[in-house]
Amino acid sequence: MKGLFQRFLLYLATGRDKPLAQQLLFAKVQMQIMRSQLPRQIPLTAQERNRLIKFGKPLGSKVKELLTIVSPRTFARWLSDEREKRQPGTPGRPRKPEEIRQLILRLARENGWGYLRIAGELRKLGIRKVSRSTIRNILLENGLDPGPKRGEGTWHDFIKRHTETLWACDFFTKKVWTTHGLVDVFVLFFMHIGSRRVYVSGMTPNPDRAWMIQQARNMAIIFGDQPEPARYLLRDFDGKFPPEFDAILAANGTKVKKVGPFAPNLNAFAERWVRSIREECLNHFVVFGEEHLRYLVNQYLTFYNQFRPHQRKDNLPLTGHDPPEALALAPDEVHCDERLGGLLKHYYRRAA
């Protein structure tokens, strides 16, 4: 520190109070070390700011040589505010409107969603100027868990190159109560990787060769109706896929690409959808009969393909519907559509 303070120390050092000067110099070194360990910006209360003004104003321009907590420019602004009798501004960004904060808390409490999912629901409602970090901070301020982040998948380069013409398929099973007891029902589904849309081809307790051949024929028709041809289909080495299954699809221009065993990330999108339908729907029900399972799956499919926001699709539904931006919404403007007894919820704005 140069200037007035150093000249004062020099004066003391050459006079009778040399021990005092040495103590002040030692204190100065300690303060410099402590200041280097602190954040660049130190928040001050109004009382602390007033104390600095009180003791710093009599020093005039020499105060610039002594300031370490704030910059000289900030201190000059404080003096100007005091002369003009202006109220000092509040540091940081403006607080989000209370209506938006309450909506964020409502979505979190009613559904247990994390901050990423809430960001998607807000985007779908037209509220864009709320960052993920803001949502996370609002949840933490109110004692709510912001939720975990999910990791990236693998095989990124291949997926990126062929995303519009790449499909994946897989099975999942659900135990169903029948007149003969518990039965495992197999559900075969296909996903278009580019759009993330899911098609359930069929479900049966006995996926034999004839049934699988028919599913291949059905999907060959659906592939032919798509805007982009299905060039590749990812599937695992499951023995339920007969050679005819691949041959029927290959005859229609779709190359089946098998992913290795014990490598779920190679078919990560399909694996993730199985987790979604289980956690968000099927695990909450005891299923009685194949028709009951078909109803549950179809209800979830409609919700997933039309209303649910998706993080990898810019937090929009798969329909791409993006309403006009809304800076704030009154509580009665946000409505909720429920499916399966309120298990699946879709929030939307009331039509003008």
- Sign for the pseudo-dihedral over CA of 22, 24, 29, 33: positive
236 in helix, strand or coil?
coil
pLDDT at 327 over 70: yes
Instruction: Yes or no: say if 118 and 107 are a contact pair by the CB < 8 Å rule.
Output: yes
CA distance 25 to 22: 5
Q: Tens digits of per-residue pLDDT, 227-286?
A: 888 999 999 999 999 999 999 999 999 999 998 776 667 788 899 999 999 999 999 999
Instruction: Yes or no: say if 189 and 200 are a contact pair by the CB < 8 Å rule.
Output: yes
pLDDT at 333 over 50: yes
**pLDDT at position 307:** 92
CA distance 284 to 312: 26
Six-digit token pair at 283? Answer: 């695990």
C-beta pairs of 308-317 under 8 Å, 24+ apart in sequence: 308/346, 309/117, 309/120, 309/121, 309/123, 309/124, 310/120, 310/196, 311/116, 311/117, 311/120, 312/196, 313/196, 314/123, 315/119, 315/120, 315/123, 315/124, 316/120, 316/123, 316/124, 317/124
pLDDT at 218 over 70: yes
Six-digit token pair at 229? Answer: 């041809």
**pLDDT at position 150:** 45
CA distance 113 to 347: 13
Phi, psi at 47, each rounded to 5°: -65, -40
C-beta pairs of 27-33 under 8 Å, 24+ apart in sequence: 28/1, 31/68, 32/1, 32/68
What average pLDDT does the structure give for the chain?
83
Class of domain 156-311: alpha beta
180 Cβ contact partners less than 8 Å away, ≥ 6 residues apart:
none
280 Cβ contact partners less than 8 Å away, ≥ 6 residues apart:
300, 343, 344
pLDDT at 334 over 50: yes
**pLDDT at position 158:** 63
CA distance 293 to 295: 5
| CATH 3.30.420.10 domain locations along the chain | 156-311
Q: In whole angstroms, how far apart are CA 137 and each of 105, 114, 130?
A: 11, 12, 11
pTM summary value: 0.61
